Amino acid sequence: MGVKSRILDLFEKRNELSIKEVVDSLQVSKQIIHRVINQLVAENVVEKLGRSPKTVYRIESEPSNKKAVTSAIDLPHDQLEFLSKKFLVVTEVGKLLEGIDAFDYWCKQRKLPTEKTVLEFIETKKKYESYYQKNRLINGIEKLRNTKGYKMIWLDQLFYLDFYAIERFGKTRLGTLLHYAKQGQNKYLMSVMMSEISERIARFVKEQKADAIGFVPPTIKREVQIMKFIQTHLHISLPSVTIKKLSGIIPVPQKSLPKLEERIRNAENTFAISDQRQFNHLILIDDAVGSGSTLNQIAEKVKNKKVAVKVTGLAVVGSFKGFDVITDV
């Protein structure tokens, strides 16, 4: 019996195995086991769960060949290209799918015909095109100014790279990456997200002729903070304004507050600017804009301390329906 057959026989008996368990059971070199299991993964016979060094393998729960599934979906090249740029899914078991594989999976979960739904997705995305400027950013300052509840708008400008979610299809590609990267403290997804936004943010900062940058600090303690990750991976050579996050005995995140006035009070009383330097144009970066209160109230503190004359807010994603609430990031 060959190594491949012996490995499959072992999986049939034990269901889930690590590389070490296979090596110990079969007394075959680790290199050979890795090569054969990688081949089985590529053939969609075995699936990989987790990430190194905590990785296990098992017989594919959906054994149908993914390539066969994809090839059965006859879509024009332009539609496939559109999906590859716009659609991404993280499955319930933590797999990252992109493009047609992601869209087909999403449709099957909802018992929808893939080919027909692709056209509906493209049409839906086209409806949002008018919100994007030539630089592919969304200008949110007018929505903020028209939101009832603010005594004053301190931000001079507000932009975000994409919507967090859209009608019917839910989270956008960036919205999905941000959500799972932040909630799962997942550096891999953070890296994927940064590969898509770093150049855009750097170009925006340069176009705005900013002379300082600031990063909104997190409220909840995590081992991996997405805002810290963004800050360290942007590599923008500008002075960074120090923004401190204050909290009482119980930290209260913005997403837990359902009312705008509560969010404004929260931001007003839990952020502080300790910087003494003076700049002309500061760009404040946040991961998501929900009510807009965090960026706006930080801008107030910046201007009251005369740290910057002009303040622009920039978020990775923002809400579509006014400045309601983004509750899950």
Determine whether 200 is exposed, middle or buried from the number of CB atoms within 10 Å of its CB (0-12, 13-18, 19+).
Answer: middle
pLDDT 10s digits, 183-228:
999 999 999 999 999 999 999 999 999 999 999 998 888 889 999 9
**Which pTM value belongs to this model?**
0.80
Please state, rounded to an integer, the average pLDDT across all residues of the chain. Answer: 89
Q: Which residues contact 145 (CB under 8 A, 6 or more apart)?
A: 153
Q: Rounded to whole angstroms, how far apart are CA atoms 316 and 329?
A: 12
Which residue ranges does the chain devote to CATH 1.10.10.10? 3-59
Task: Give the pLDDT mean for 104-118.
Answer: 96
CA atoms within 13 A on the CB side of 295: 33
Residue 94: predicted pLDDT: 82
CATH 3.40.50-classified regions of the chain:
131-318
Q: Residue 239 and residue 111: Cα distance in Å, rounded?
A: 51
Section 66-81 average pLDDT: 72
- pLDDT tens, residue by residue, 234-250: 989 999 999 998 877 67
Q: What's the average model confidence in pLDDT over 115-134?
A: 95
Return the closest-CA partner of residue 182 out of 279, 278, 255: 255
88, 97 contact by CB (below 8 A): yes
HSE-CB of 136 using CA atoms within 13 angstroms: 9
pLDDT tens digits along 75-95: 999 999 999 999 999 998 788
3-59 is classed in which CATH architecture? Answer: Orthogonal Bundle (1.10)
Work out the average pLDDT over 50-64. 72
Residues of 79-111 as b/e, b for ≥16 C-beta within 10 angstroms? beebbeebbbbbeeeeebbbbbbbbbbbbeeee
Provide the total of helices (H) and of strands (E) in the chain, helices listed first.
13, 15
* 154 vs 59: which has the higher pLDDT: 154
Q: Is the pLDDT of residue 17 over 80?
A: yes
Q: What is the pLDDT of residue 226?
A: 96
pLDDT(324) > 70: no
3-state SS record for 12-69: HHHCEECHHHHHHHHCCCHHHHHHHHHHHHHCCCEEEEEECCEEEEEECCCCCCHHHH
Show the tokens assigned to 102: 């992601």
Identify the architecture of domain 131-318 in CATH: 3-Layer(aba) Sandwich (3.40)
At residue 66 the predicted structure's pLDDT band, cuts being 50, 70 and 90, is very low
Beta carbons of 298 and 216 less than 8 angstroms apart:
yes
What digits encode the pLDDT tens for the residues 204-213? Answer: 999 999 999 9
Strands 96-98 and 88-90, bridge-based pairing = antiparallel
CB 206 within 8 A of CB 175: no
| pLDDT at site 326 | 60
Mean pLDDT of 157-179: 96
Q: Angle, nearest 10°, between helix axes 114-127 and 99-109? A: 110
pLDDT at 68 over 90: no
Gap between the Cα atoms of 53 and 20, Å rounded: 11
Q: In the block, which residue shows the tokens 């956008």? A: 172
Asked whether 281 and 250 are in contact (CB, 8 A), the reply is no
| Res 71: pLDDT | 46
